[in-house]
Amino acid sequence: MLTTNPFAELANVSELISPTTMQIYAVLMFLLVVGGTILDIVHKKSMKYFNEYTDKANAKATKQVSASDMASMRVKVLTSEVLTSSEFSNQKRRLSHLLTMYGFTLFVITSAIMIFFYGDAAGGETPSIWPLLWHLGALMLCVGGYWFWFAIRVDVAAEGKKWYDIAPRADMFILSLLGTCTFALLWSFTSGAGIFFLLFLISSLFLFGGVYWSKFAHMFFKPAAAYQKKVLEANGHNQNLPYVPDLSSAEVHEKYPDIPTYMGKNPPNMGPGIRRESANHY
Amino acid sequence: MPTYVHMTRCDGCGECVDICPSDIMHIDKTIRRAYNIEPNMCWECYSCVKACPHNAIDVRGYADFTPLGSSVRVHRDEEKGVIAWRIIFRNGTKDFELLAPITTKPWGEGIPDLNTAEAPSDEMRNSQLLYNEPKYIRMDEGGLHTFETNKLSLKEGVYY
């Protein structure tokens, strides 16, 4: 069951679901994602705002950032923000996001491989590694996604909001994602092209077709924003945040006499303060 | 100066919701980002500013010292024990920073050990003062200030 290619079996069930139809459907989904993202950018003018802000911030930069530093920042964004979701300070959210992200990536890549290379008998027997990874991806997505849905999402709302309170637009992405992987697993486990396959199709259509309305496109925007943040920190703009200087310097003592008066000439490290205990969202 | 959230910087982690003593930081149900639901009720304690891991929370400066359209950004540095401000006017030419201490000893120190404190006497229990309330809060050692004690009197009727 875990080692059989569910897409290859579809062709045996009905002639309507031929490998070519599946390939056309997959290409259509890809085009929907690209089109949805472009429409989203045009409608929200996010690219325009992003570029304007970058220009304004660069004009106020106090330091020059070298090309090698920019390149190392790009690598850092990839290894830190993209691959390990370091932006999340809450470790539960981070783990849930990583499970969902890697599960989704595995699921999509193995689906494409099984549809395009092993969709029909002519492609030969599907190596068992692809269906295995496909099931693993869907399972990881389910674990991360349901964890988010039942525990983390409700917690974040902090409004006594129940798991069955659905905000259609806010939850479109996560629900279609959960629907896609859940129905994919159920369809595979029941070895049939019945109701679960139909539900799988509908969920995937919502997932890839709803990019314009959902937060699917965050995978493109977030790395760009993380990179911009790093550049602004390096070039001294730092998003207009105040600079906290070394408190033991004579210059600071002269400019801000309250510091030596109340804290001494060489103030100690005051400890983690608020971060001594982790937040417990009631 | 009440706080507000920059939606593009917020990631909806809920740290500000958790810490706000006035319970006015909420998560928007549609876009899942924090916002200050009632700035009029803000105590201006800046706990949310301090708790935000993404520096997404800013302050709306009062018009008497920062005209409309200015940027007031604040950063509480826990480890250094200071609060830093940066105020930039709308025209961009006035740009200044301020720095002030928020603690003089490491966090968690200087908490009174109430186990070893003396139990209140009956006189203290019956007093109108709160437990451990410093006596100097009352500006007089005797009774309340009244017209009589200040040798004043009210005249009847309306007078100017």
| Statement to judge: residues A23 and A103 lie in one domain | yes
Mean pLDDT to the nearest integer, A18-30: 89
What percent of chain A is modeled with pLDDT above 70?
92
A222, with CB counted inside 10 A (0-12, 13-18, 19+), is middle
Query: Which residues of B are identified as catalytic?
Result: 43
What percent of chain A is modeled with pLDDT above 90?
41
The CATH number of the domain holding residue B12 is: 3.30.70.20
Establish if B145 belongs to a structural domain: no
Residue B139 has pLDDT above 60, yes or no: no
Check B107 against A270: CB less than 8 A apart.
Answer: yes
Rounded to the nearest 10°, the torsion over CA A156, A158, A160, A166 is: -40
In this structure, are residues A163 and A149 in contact, taking their beta carbons and an 8 Å threshold? yes
| Statement to judge: residues A48 and A100 lie in one domain | yes
Distance CA B137, CA B128 (A): 12
β partners of residue B85: B74, B98
| Statement to judge: residues A143 and A211 lie in one domain | yes
Q: How confident is the model at residue A134 (pLDDT cuts 50, 70, 90)?
A: very high
Check A268 against B106: CB less than 8 A apart.
Answer: yes
In chain B, the number of structural domains is 1
β partners of residue B99: B84
Give the minimum alpha-carbon distance from A216 to chain B in angstroms, rounded to a whole number: 13
Residues of A within 8 A of B55 (CB-CB) are 239, 241
Residue A44 has pLDDT above 90, yes or no: no
Establish if B120 belongs to a structural domain: no
| Statement to judge: residues A22 and A147 lie in one domain | yes
Per-residue pLDDT of A91-110, as tens digits, reads 888 999 999 999 999 999 99
In this structure, are residues B95 and A236 in contact, taking their beta carbons and an 8 Å threshold? no
Check A273 against B107: CB less than 8 A apart.
Answer: yes
Residues of B within 8 A of A156 (CB-CB) are 12-14, 27, 32
Establish if A165 belongs to a structural domain: yes
Parallel, antiparallel, or unpaired for β B82-88 and B95-101? Answer: antiparallel
β partners of residue B95: B88
| Statement to judge: residues A182 and A244 lie in one domain | no
Distance CA A99, CA A116 (A): 26
Q: How confident is the model at residue B91 (pLDDT cuts 50, 70, 90)?
A: confident
B107: nearest CA partner in chain A = A273
Structural domain harbouring A254: 240-268
pTM value? 0.78
Task: Return the HEC string of B130-148.
Answer: CCCCCHHHCCCCCCCCCCC
- Residue B17, both tokens: 């919701």
B55: nearest CA partner in chain A = A241
Compute the mean pLDDT over every residue in chain B, rounded to the nearest whole number.
83
Distance CA A77, CA A84 (A): 10
| Statement to judge: residues A183 and A63 lie in one domain | yes
A132-136, B151-155, B156-160, range with the lowest pLDDT: B156-160
Establish if A94 belongs to a structural domain: yes
Q: Give the phi and the psi of residue B25 in degrees, each rounded to 5.
A: -90, 120
Distance CA A39, CA B31 (A): 19
| Statement to judge: residues A14 and A75 lie in one domain | yes
Q: Give the phi and the psi of residue B96 in degrees, each rounded to 5.
A: -135, 155
Establish if B157 belongs to a structural domain: no
| Statement to judge: residues A174 and A255 lie in one domain | no
Mean pLDDT to the nearest integer, A139-153: 91
Per-residue pLDDT of B45-56, as tens digits, reads 888 988 888 889
Q: How confident is the model at residue A176 (pLDDT cuts 50, 70, 90)?
A: very high
Instruction: Please name the residues in contact with B86: beta carbons below 8 A apart, sequence gap of 6 or more.
Output: A240, A241, A242, A243, B71, B72, B73, B74, B75, B95, B96, B97, B98
* Tokens 């070519």 -> residue: A20
Residues of A within 8 A of B15 (CB-CB) are 89, 279
Which candidate in A53, A155, A240 is best for mutational testing of the B interface (most B CBs within 10 A)? A240
| pLDDT for the residue A168 | 81
Check B103 against A276: CB less than 8 A apart.
Answer: no
Per-residue pLDDT of A225-279, as tens digits, reads 899 989 988 888 888 899 899 999 999 999 999 999 989 899 989 988 877 777 6
| pLDDT for the residue B135 | 54
Residue A79 has pLDDT above 70, yes or no: yes
Establish if A282 belongs to a structural domain: no
The sheet carrying B57-59 orders its strands as B3-5, B57-59, B71-77, B82-88, B95-101
CB pairs under 8 A between A and B: 126
Check A157 against B29: CB less than 8 A apart.
Answer: yes
In chain A, the number of structural domains is 2
